[in-house]
Amino acid sequence: MFRCKSCSALNKVATGTNGTPICGRCKATLDVSGAPQDVDAEGFNRVVNSATVPVLVDFWAPWCPPCRATSPIVDSYAREKPGEVLTLKVNTDENPVVASAHQIQHIPTFILFKNGAVVARRSGGLSKQALASWVQEAVANSPSVGTA
């Protein structure tokens, strides 16, 4: 599953698809690199509530040294999981309502959602291996909320 940067629609793209995938809604070219995407409150809610794959959200701020140190790790992890995990970035300075709704008190904070529900959260910087292990374990141990 991939989020369109133009209209925020979620798109399923089959593995091994030939050509450049386009958004089913607005026909813009889809970024299928898996790179984290910055979202506002509306984009955050739409993705978390609609995604059929786990959603990793990085709550951060540009002035935060641990956030800046962790950002390339999150980017690298996300690019290894395109279509398997959607990775979003929420700037807590620009989106205080989202941060407050999720009780973000320290940054960076990572929240993992599955089927619209929080399945894990973690604050502080971490290595790529630690991030990957945390996500894998959280997804494996989470209930299949909202699935048949």
CB 104 within 8 A of CB 61: no
Q: Which residues contact 118 (CB under 8 A, 6 or more apart)?
A: 102, 111, 112
Residues designated catalytic: 64, 67
Residue recorded with tokens 């970024």: 31
CB 122 within 8 A of CB 134: yes
Q: How much helix, strand and coil, in percent to the nearest 5, is found in the chain?
A: 30, 20, 45
* Closest to 39 (Cα-Cα) out of 120, 83, 99: 99
**Rounded CA separation 35/76 (Å):** 8
Residue 143 CB neighbour total at 10 angstroms: 10
